[in-house]
Amino acid sequence: MSPGARAYGDAGPTEAGGRPAALLVLALLGIYALLVGAPMIPGIPPVVGGVVVTIVFAFAALGAAAQVARLELPAWVELTGLVIGVFDWYLLASAGSLTDLGRFLIVPAADVLLLFVLMLGGRLLSRLLREPKMLLPVALVLVMADVYTVYFGFTGAMLEKAPEVVESVSVKLPEFGSATGPEGVAGLRHIATMGPGDTFFAAVFFAVIVRFALGLRRSFCWIFGIVAAVLAIVVALPEVPPIPVLPLMALGFVVPNWHQLRLSGAEWAYVAIVAVFVTALFAGMSYLMGTVLQ
């Protein structure tokens, strides 16, 4: 273990202070209240409402990921919670999709549970990283993968061919007042979705930040600030194309922690080789997918 690293399960205070479990519950309850409450508040202009929902959700979701990273949990608890949580999420999501009231009340609960399960999974994956700078090449590959899948690959194709599949495994952000019209809860509409990869890797970033004491407050401010600012612009300006969230989180992670992440010349050479390999791999996948979908 590198100097400064703190193994999960070690006792001792974290930099952010407070009670992580209580803050986590507060954040998750806040997300549920937002998902259920926003559609019941009429009179908010669509652009203003979209920006507010996006910023509040980003703050609560990233805050929850940061608090999950601070919990003192052994690996077996993370794995058990991941397995049980996926099963419970499937049951909740399936039951909620059967009725309009279920879509309004139960599906948001399933979405919140999905967030927590993904955070446990990201924290579990972060155990493979033995030093913080290992996350830099990983982040580079993740950014390339996210951009590829959204614009050219599987996610983009699924959004075009089967958007309901993508929506089922994503957190749905509601439109303000959409459940207050003549149709009631049946008129519930969503303005955007947050894919599972964004939550999963947000948890990886924060787990590394906490484990290696990189500065939780500073990192959170950077990650949230960049994500919230860019997404608010995207929501406020419909002509702006959708932007993957993962590159924004990666930038927010790298900027305040650059000195702890700097690589040697040889390490950068390995990163370049990996980048070339991943680029070639994605190009091949794009060709094959284009052939299959024709």
Question: Which 8-state DSSP code applies to residue 174?
Answer: E
Q: Is residue 153 part of a domain?
A: no
For residue 258, pLDDT beyond 90: no
Cβ-count burial of 231 within 10 angstroms (0-12 exposed, 13-18 middle, 19+ buried)?
buried
Res 39 pLDDT > 70: yes
Higher pLDDT, 59 or 136: 59
Q: For the ranges 120-124, 138-142, 214-218, which has the lowest average pLDDT?
A: 138-142
9 pLDDT higher than 50: no
Q: What is the chain's alpha carbon radius of gyration, rounded to the nearest angstrom? A: 20
Which band of pLDDT confidence, cut at 50, 70 and 90, is reported for residue 210? Answer: very high
Q: What is the DSSP letter of 132?
A: G
HSE (side-chain half, CA atoms, 13 Å) at 9 = 8
245-250, long-range: CB within 8 Å, 24+ apart, which pairs?
Answer: 245/146, 245/194, 245/195, 245/198, 246/142, 246/143, 246/146, 246/197, 246/198, 246/201, 247/143, 247/146, 247/147, 248/223, 249/198, 249/201, 249/202, 249/205, 249/223, 250/139, 250/140, 250/142, 250/143, 250/205
pLDDT (mean) for 161-179:
75
Q: What pLDDT does residue 15 have? A: 42
Is the confidence at residue 182, as pLDDT, over 70?
Answer: yes
In angstroms, how far is CA 175 from the centroid of its own chain?
Answer: 20
Kindly indicate the confidence band of residue 1, based on its pLDDT and cuts at 50, 70 and 90: very low
CA distance 208 to 211: 5
What is the tens place of the pLDDT at every residue in 262-280?
767 666 676 677 667 666 6
Q: Kindly report the number of other CB atoms within 10 A of residue 6's CB atom.
A: 14
Report if residue 14 sits inside a domain: no
Does some domain include residue 285?
no
- What are the backbone angles phi and psi of residue 243, rounded to the nearest 5°? -120, 130
Report the pLDDT averaged over residues 211-233: 93
Kind of pairing, strands 171-174 and 190-194? antiparallel
Tokens representing residue 78 in the block: 């993370």
Q: What pLDDT score was predicted for residue 238?
A: 79
Q: What confidence tens digit (pLDDT) does each residue in 67-123 have?
A: 999 999 999 999 999 999 999 999 999 999 889 899 999 999 999 999 999 999 999
Residue 170 inside a domain? The answer is yes
Query: Does residue 123 lie within any of the structural domains?
Result: yes
More confident residue, 284 or 183: 183
Give the phi and the psi of residue 171 in degrees, each rounded to 5: -85, 125
Residue percentage of the chain with pLDDT more than 90: 44
For residue 161, what pLDDT is reported?
55
Euclidean distance between CA atoms 278 and 274, whole angstroms: 6
pLDDT of residue 277: 63
Within-domain flag for 199 = yes
Tell whether the model's pLDDT for residue 192 goes beyond 90. no
For all residues of the chain together, what is the average pLDDT? Answer: 81
Q: Which two tokens stand for residue 35?
A: 């998902």
Given pLDDT bands bounded at 50, 70 and 90, which one contains residue 140?
confident
pLDDT at 66 over 60: yes
Answer whether residue 149 is part of any domain: no
**What percentage of the chain exceeds 70 in pLDDT?**
74
Model confidence at 14: pLDDT above 80: no
Nearest to 267 by CA among 173, 162, 140, 128: 140
- pLDDT class of 237 with cuts at 50, 70, 90: confident
Residue 288 forms part of a structural domain: no
| C-alpha distances out from residue 38 to 52, 93, 191, 228, 231, Å | 10, 20, 12, 18, 18
Total domains in the chain come to 1
The pLDDT of residue 38 is above 90: yes
Note down the domain range covering 239. Answer: 20-131+163-261
